[in-house]
Amino acid sequence: MPAQRVAVITGGASGLGYAAARRFLSEGMRVALWDISDPNLQRATAELAQFGDVWGCQTDVSDVYSIEQAAQRTRDVFGDADTVLAAAGIAGHVLPYVDYPLSGWHDVINTNLTGVHLTCRALVPTMIASGWGRVITVSSMAGKEGNPKQIAYSSAKAAIMGFTKSLGKELAQTGVLVNGIAPTLVQSPMLDEASVLDPQAIDALRAKIPMGRLGRPEEFAALAAWLASDQCSFTTGMTFDLSGGRSTY
C-alpha cells in the first residue's frame, strides 16, 4: 500500500460520496472530488478542508474527455490515484415503462454505468502498474431486485454488479481489488429529491427494511473505508450489502 494515499471520489460533492470523502480524509488520504456540480464542489471542498487535503475538479463522468482531463489534473495536483470510489449517479425518471423517455434512459445509463467504466478506464492502468489499488463501485438494491418504474436505474445498477465481478476477477492477481456496495435507502439529497417525486414509493421501500430505518451516510462511509484499506485483502469482485437486513443474498 502506498505511504501517501490518493483517492478519487466521483459524485463526492454530495451524499454518500461526500460522507466517504470525510472518512477517507480523516484516515489521512488525500481526496480528489470529481463532481458535475460546481457550486456543490465549492461548498464541499470548503467544508471538508478541515479534515485533510481535499481538492475539487468539475467533471462529467459520462463524458470521456472530461474524465481524461480530470485524471490528468488530479495527477498534477496529487499524483496517481491508488483508490477510486465511483459514487456519481442520478436516479432518473420514476415513470411507467411505456412512458419512460429514451433520452432519460441514455442519461441514466451514461452517468451511472458508462461513468463507472470511464472513471476506471482512466485510473486503473496506473494502479495495475504500481501493483496496488482499490476500486469501489456503488450499485443499489434496485439492481438486485428491480424497482418498478425505474427501468434505467435498475438496469444500470444491475450492470454495475456485473462490471464489478468481471473487473475484480480479471485483476485478481494484480494487487488491485474491485468491490462494490449495494445500498438500500440511505438518507441523502438524491433520496430527498426522489421522495418529492414519489413519496409512496419511498415509504414502500422503507417498509421492506427489517431494521425499520434508513441507512446513514456514515455507515456507507465505514464500509467504503474498509474496502479501500489493506484490511480488505482476500475479497474481490464482491458487491456488499448495506440494507438493514433487507437483502440476505
Ligand X SMILES: NC(=O)c1ccc[n+]([C@@H]2O[C@H](COP(=O)([O-])OP(=O)(O)OC[C@H]3O[C@@H](n4cnc5c(N)ncnc54)[C@H](O)[C@@H]3O)[C@@H](O)[C@H]2O)c1
| Shortest Å distance, C-beta 115 to ligand X | 6
**Region near ligand X per CB under 6 A, out of 22-30, 60-68, 120-128, 162-170:** 60-68
Among 9, 48, 88, 161, binds ligand X (CB under 6 A): 88
> Does the footprint of ligand X cover residue 15 (CB under 6 A)?
yes
> Does the footprint of ligand X cover residue 10 (CB under 6 A)?
yes
Catalytic residue among 18, 65, 97, 153: 153
Distances (CA, A) of 78 to 30, 47, 221: 7, 19, 22
Half-sphere exposure of 16 (CA within 13 A, CB side): 30
**Region near ligand X per CB under 6 A, out of 29-37, 170-178, 196-204, 225-233:** 29-37
> Does the footprint of ligand X cover residue 48 (CB under 6 A)?
no
Asked if residue 220 lies in contact with residue 181, where contact means CB atoms within 8 angstroms, the answer is yes
Q: Which residue number, 15 or 168, has a Cβ lying nearer to ligand X?
A: 15
Q: Phi and psi at residue 240, in whole multiples of 5°? A: -90, 140
| Shortest Å distance, C-beta 40 to ligand X | 5
Among 7, 13, 159, 224, binds ligand X (CB under 6 A): 13
**Region near ligand X per CB under 6 A, out of 14-22, 48-56, 92-100, 195-203:** 14-22
Among 8, 54, 83, 89, binds ligand X (CB under 6 A): 89
Euclidean distance between CA atoms 139 and 65, whole angstroms = 24
> Does the footprint of ligand X cover residue 185 (CB under 6 A)?
yes
| Shortest Å distance, C-beta 29 to ligand X | 19
| Shortest Å distance, C-beta 75 to ligand X | 19
**153 in active site:** yes
> Does the footprint of ligand X cover residue 138 (CB under 6 A)?
yes
Q: Footprint of ligand X on this chain (CB under 6 A)? A: 10-11, 13-17, 35-37, 40, 59-62, 87-90, 111, 115, 138, 140, 183, 185-186, 188-191
Catalytic residues: 153
